[in-house]
Structures are given as structure tokens and as C-alpha cells.
Amino acid sequence: MAWRPWDLDQAYVPFVKGIGCDVAFSDPVFRRKFKEKHGKEVEEDIIAAAQEWVKICFSGVAHSWEEIAFLKKKWDGPIILKGIQHPDDALKAIEVGVQGIIVSNHGGRQLDGAIGSLTMLPEIADAVGDKLTVLFDSGARTGVDVIKALSLGAKAVCIGRPWVYGLGIGGKAGARDVMKGILADFDQSMGLAGIKGTKDCSRSIIRRVEYPGDRASSN
């Protein structure tokens, strides 16, 4: 996928020719649905398969706040919005009546210049107060990362890639070992910091240190 920006700038979309579609073509659900619709395997018609995948990935990706009302009519459970990166959007989430938000830049893989989620977390948490539940996602790899997010206003921290790495290496046991490692680090780090429990995680134990290079790079 690394060539996508350059190709798109040149009005060349390699996906429709089956280039760079391995993620889709190896997905069992996509393969099954393609066969049901076309009566053949993906490998028998790469172009048709690629076009199906492009339609899935690049259609219906724009959403509006008005869609929340539709979701609330169809779903009586809690609604949590992921991808909140600004206090104004967090306040809008309260206005439309969702129960929670996830402060996230999707692991930095969508927009490389996006501000870090941890940087925005305190401001967003202050804006919403206790009016909805604030979760955190993006870049949490250790127990210390979890402590930082909880201390800056998150009620819970979502773990994304680490357990997938464990799953890929060791299956179910690998995923479990990764999570056990994060929990062990979390427990040990709380003890070393003199924290008895998650309720003691607050900004009083956090300090942000700016280095000369950080200051210079922001000018």
C-alpha cells in the first residue's frame, strides 16, 4: 500500500487491477461472498474481485452526525464513537446523545500528520467531564502507557495491535500472553509509583517534559 499516494497523484489506481489487494483476497468472508455472487474463485477473475473490494473499501466512508439518530432507532444499547480528536467533537457527541467516545487517531495509520491522541486526551476529558465515558486508543503498548492514559482522563484503555501480534505468533495462547504481560507491567508499575489502584491514577503523578529538540521542531 506504500505506493498509494504517488499512484493516486498520477491518477493511477492499482487496486482495480488487483495490485495491492492481498489483504482482501485472503479474507475468507470476502472470498465466500465473492464466490456466492460470481460463481467462481477470486483467482479466476482477479479484476472482478479487485473491483468488488474497491467498492467495499471506498464507498460509504463519509458519515455525518445525523446518522447517530438512525443508529439510536435501530440499537437500544450504548453507542461509542471512535476517532474523536478534538474537544468540539467530544461536545457534539454529548449533544447527539452517545454514551461514550474513544479518543483515537487510529494508531496513526490514517493521517500521518495527525496530533497524538495522548496529547489531546486531557483537553477532551476536561471538556466532557462526567457527561459521557471517555476511552483511549492509539499507541498503548505497555502497562505504563495504560497508567498515563488513565491519569490523563480516560476511564479505560483499548489495546489494538499487541494482542494481534501475539495471535499471529502463538495463536490464542500468544494473544493471552501479550495481554498478561501488559497487565503484569501495569500492576508492577502502579506499585513502583505508589499507586494502590486505578482510582489513584491522576495528573498529579504525570509530568510532561519538553526537550529543546521538541520546542525547535514546533517552530
**Is 63 designated active site?**
no
Cα 189 to Cα 1, 180, 197, 214, distances in angstroms: 38, 14, 11, 26
Beta-strand runs (E) in 43-177: 80-84, 100-103, 133-136, 156-157
197 and 147 within one domain: yes
Catalytic residue among 38, 63, 86, 106: 106
Q: Give domain status of residue 217, yes or no.
A: no
CA distance 90 to 133: 10
The pTM of this model reads 0.72
pLDDT tens for the chain, 219 residues long, are 444 555 556 666 676 677 777 878 888 888 999 999 999 998 899 888 888 887 777 666 677 898 899 889 989 999 999 999 999 999 999 999 999 999 998 877 777 778 889 999 999 999 999 999 999 998 899 999 999 999 999 999 999 889 999 999 999 999 999 999 999 999 999 999 999 999 999 999 998 887 776 655 444
53 and 32 within one domain: yes
Kindly state the cell numbers that stand for 213: 529538540
Q: Which domain holds residue 87?
A: 67-212
The domain tally of the chain equals 2
Q: Give domain status of residue 25, yes or no.
A: yes
